[in-house]
Structure 1
Amino acid sequence: MASSLKSPVAVDVNLQDVFFEQSSTACPISPDTWTNWFQTWLEIMRPELPEADTYELSLRLTTDAEIQTLNAQYRQQDRPTDVLAFASLEVNFPKLPAEFSELEPLYLGDIIISIETAERQAQQQGHSLSVELAWLASHGFLHLLGWDHPDEDSLANMLSQQQTLLKIIGILS
């Protein structure tokens, strides 16, 4: 009897600047853990994704100075922020030819997190830097999939989905 379950999702997470020369804070999350988290999240969110054999995204952990430059350049807000996400696909994903999904990973986009802002926010919230980084990564990840929060209802939905994603990886109980 054939199973109706899809095969596991493969993900290629391009990790950039996981440890910082410009910052005194090193990332407490290993590259393998990041990859496992994104793979798990892709499995959960698979119904919202165009079908592909593999997916790729980029994660850059950076400083306040660099994220401020990007925030000013792309969002016209000249201040540091915690996370930026640059989605490579439109909200309504196109149907891709089967041969395309077999040849190349489907690139979802870039997530950029300021580890300095994350560290401050973790202290303010009274939790670890790992929890804050997971929270910010899940938020950026949902933005790559087309989620947004222009109003209170959509923000509540997005925050609820983030909590679900974090529970699944054991960050929240």
Structure 2
Amino acid sequence: MTASAAGPAPEIDLAFSLEPGADTGASTVSTLVDPAQAEALWMAHLSGWLAQLGPELPAQLRAAGYSLGLQLCDDATIATLNQTWRHRSGPTDVLAFAAQEEAPPVPQGEGEAWLELGDIIISLDTAERQARDAGHDLEAELLFLASHGLLHLLGWDHPDEGSLAAMLERQTALLLASPS
């Protein structure tokens, strides 16, 4: 898939949650984590990314609106999910549970009015470590992980180095065009 001109921004029905106990510490609290501001900011980012991706999506993934979940949690929670669903021990940075893995064919024309994409789960603990190790802030890391999770919900995968490079290139394009 390649970058295309952005279409109209779709509506977003976002189920955002910050898991109780997923504490980022006073020095690193980001507006993407602050419950009072986070949902609107995440909706703007996700809507913008989906608008960019719209022209290149297969017909069954094109919609006027999308419903998805975004949960920020701690390492213990994501480690449990990682073990349960991926049979891998320990925490990971992001998990994506796609609702449209086997999308039914859509008749000619536009996709459904609303489409359930699935859920993105991000570990704040791991995101903070990765941000520190990479020398950037928590917000940049969260945006990187969320864009990665969104691409997974839309069918992208990276079973080999070539597909990972293509996915990372697409993420970079999404992030460069993100709202500030």
| Equivalent in the alignment of 2:11 | 10
Q: Is residue 2:75 matched to residue 1:64?
A: yes
Letter in 2 for 1:63: D
Q: Is residue 2:35 matched to residue 1:28?
A: no
Offset from partner CA, 1:82-137 (integer Å, 9 cap, x none): 000001112666216989934xx210010000001000100000000000000000
Say whether the 8 Å CA contact 1:14–1:58 is kept in structure 2: yes
Say whether the 8 Å CA contact 2:45–2:179 is kept in structure 1: no
> Unaligned regions of 5+ residues in structure 2, if any?
1-5, 33-37
SS in 1 for 2:100: coil
Q: What is the root-mean-square deviation of aligned Cα atoms in Å?
A: 2.4
Aligned runs of 1:89-168 on 2, under 5 Å? 89-90=100-101, 94-95=105-106, 101-102=112-113, 105-168=114-177
Offset from partner CA, 1:5-32 (integer Å, 9 cap, x none): 9643111111012xx5313315531211
Provide TM-score, normalisation by structure 2. Answer: 0.82
Say whether the 8 Å CA contact 2:62–2:110 is kept in structure 1: no
Letter in 1 for 2:31: P
> Unaligned regions of 5+ residues in structure 1, if any?
none
Letter in 2 for 1:140: G
Please give the alpha-carbon distance, in whole angstroms, between the structure 1 residues aligned to 2:111 and 2:165. 35
SS in 2 for 1:101: coil
Provide TM-score, normalisation by structure 1. Answer: 0.85
